[in-house]
Amino acid sequence: MQPAPDEVAPALYAGSQLTSELEAPAESAYAGLALPVTHAETAGELAPEDREIAAAIEAEAGWMTEVLARLVDKPTLLGYEEAGQGVVREALLELGLEPVDVPMDPEALHAHPLASPFDWDVSGKSNVVATWEPGEADHGRSLILNGHVDVVSPEPRAQWARDPFTAHVEDGWLYGRGAADMKCGLAAILGAVKGLRAIGLSPHAKVYLQSVVEEECTGNGSLQTVLAGYTADAAVIAEPFGGAITTSQVGVLWFNVKIKGLPGHAAESGRAVNAIENSLKMIQSLRVLEAEMNAAPPPPYDLYPHPIGLNVGLIHGGDWPSTVPGECTIGYRIALYPGMQLRDLQDRIEAIVAEAAADDPAIFAHPPEVIYRGFACEGYELPQDHPLVATLSNAYARQHGVPPALVATTGTTDARVFGLAAGIPSVCFGPYAEQAHGVGERVYLPSVVQTAQVMGMFIRDWCGLS
Ligand SMILES: [Zn+2]
């Protein structure tokens, strides 16, 4: 395989993680992170069974790229996931497994305490699960391999050099929205199982392959699979953390603040109250919360200069340049550390908004509203000495010659859903990719194969294979 171009930086997945000092100092972590794209000559450390597995999975490299390209070609934005799920069903059939739909059940989700709130229509949407049944031996540990098919908007599309929903391969990279986050991970888990099946192996316990919806906004797709009864002894989410294993992640809360003003003609500026301008003042008030939360981060987040991001992600307000806008809604995202209670954060946000309004009654004549819609989830951590981490690290180290970085991420993933809703130990591990949610999103294709190879060896070590 070709080494990655020199400009490839070790900061992965939009730089959203750091190494824990406890397990791996930054230097070796970054060496570990960089290795998946340099294809280190460590074959000598592979056991003979490893070599057989690695070769069988390498033989599926072309198929993995093809599946990934087929997935990227489907614009699986929120509400449009089904076309991508169709590709996943085809791929599962190609590797001889039966895809089963796990439809979203809005009533069950609304009633679940760990579901994120939603007000859009989820009926007709399905997660897809296939069960790789154990062979004669049935005494191993079961496993969920999970990825999400939904992607975020590629806007502004004009900044892309090419159509974001047409896969493009150049110099070993595959470009397109979702190439990184995280259709590459889906391709890797499908390719791993295809390679293992091609040489006649069966696991010693059930292995579930899952393609879920709504990871980017609620996590309710993975939650739906748990509600449908899919549990296991471990879950690995193939998010593109570039050869690092995530053991800690923050929670995320989405909230809208709706501010009312007093509409009027722009030429009579006297009495009208501008809701857009007052929304900007509210942003400043909420920045105080962000500063508070970043003042003394708990470990391992103290390794980050600014672990908690308050993102002003969307704005709806006004409709006419000559009208003072009477209403404005801003959508925010903020994170919370593992161990923090969601309700405490919501209380703090509501207090700040109420105080800001009380401080300036003339402009906030109507109390601002705080509305929760989308992510409302707490953080999740798995001890770094957990057998899942040790087993996956060991497979990685045999492949790459160095241990993987164990990382804490300042984003959230579906690993928390399995951990918090079902007590399933969960980590993320996936290919090397860049520009997730950005322009020119891309994955380094050799790292997809290497991820699949490590997954294959891990399946043998965790579940048993024969
Ligand atoms: Zn993702």
pLDDT at position 23:
31
pLDDT digits (tens, 9 = 90+) for 165-181: 999 999 999 999 999 99
DSSP secondary structure letter of residue 353: H
CA of 354 to the centre of ligand 1 (A): 34
Contacts of 32 (CB under 8 A, 6+ apart): 24, 243, 244, 400, 402, 403, 404, 405
Q: Would the pLDDT of 218 be above 80?
A: yes
pLDDT digits (tens, 9 = 90+) for 239-257: 999 879 999 999 999 999 9
pLDDT at position 80:
97
Tell me if 447 sits within 8 A of 36, measured CB to CB.
yes
CA of 391 to the centre of ligand 1 (A): 23
CA of 383 to the centre of ligand 1 (A): 22
Question: ∠ at Cα 277 (276, 279), nearest 5°?
Answer: 65
Q: Would the pLDDT of 37 be above 60?
A: no
CA of 406 to the centre of ligand 1 (A): 18
In angstroms, the Cα distances linking 182 to 69, 164, 202 are 12, 14, 26
Q: Which residue has the tokens 């899952």?
A: 210
CA of 254 to the centre of ligand 1 (A): 16
CA of 436 to the centre of ligand 1 (A): 8
State the average pLDDT over residues 449-455.
97
CA of 53 to the centre of ligand 1 (A): 27
CA of 180 to the centre of ligand 1 (A): 8
CA of 448 to the centre of ligand 1 (A): 15
CA of 414 to the centre of ligand 1 (A): 8
State the average pLDDT over residues 319-347.
96
Tell me if 191 sits within 8 A of 447, measured CB to CB.
no
pLDDT at position 39:
28
pLDDT at position 366:
82
More confident position, 39 or 249: 249
CA of 147 to the centre of ligand 1 (A): 8
pLDDT at position 66:
98
Tell me if 112 sits within 8 A of 420, measured CB to CB.
no
Nearest to residue 332, comparing CAs of 318, 356, 344, 350? 350
Q: Would the pLDDT of 399 be above 60?
A: yes
CA of 11 to the centre of ligand 1 (A): 16
CA of 460 to the centre of ligand 1 (A): 25
pTM (predicted TM-score): 0.90
Q: Would the pLDDT of 25 be above 80?
A: no
CA of 361 to the centre of ligand 1 (A): 42
Contacts of 347 (CB under 8 A, 6+ apart): none
For 336, the enclosing helix (H) or strand (E) is: strand 327-336
CA of 189 to the centre of ligand 1 (A): 14
Local confidence band at 268 (pLDDT 50, 70, 90 cut-offs) = confident
**Coil, strand or helix at 358:** helix
pLDDT digits (tens, 9 = 90+) for 49-62: 899 999 999 999 99
CA of 150 to the centre of ligand 1 (A): 8
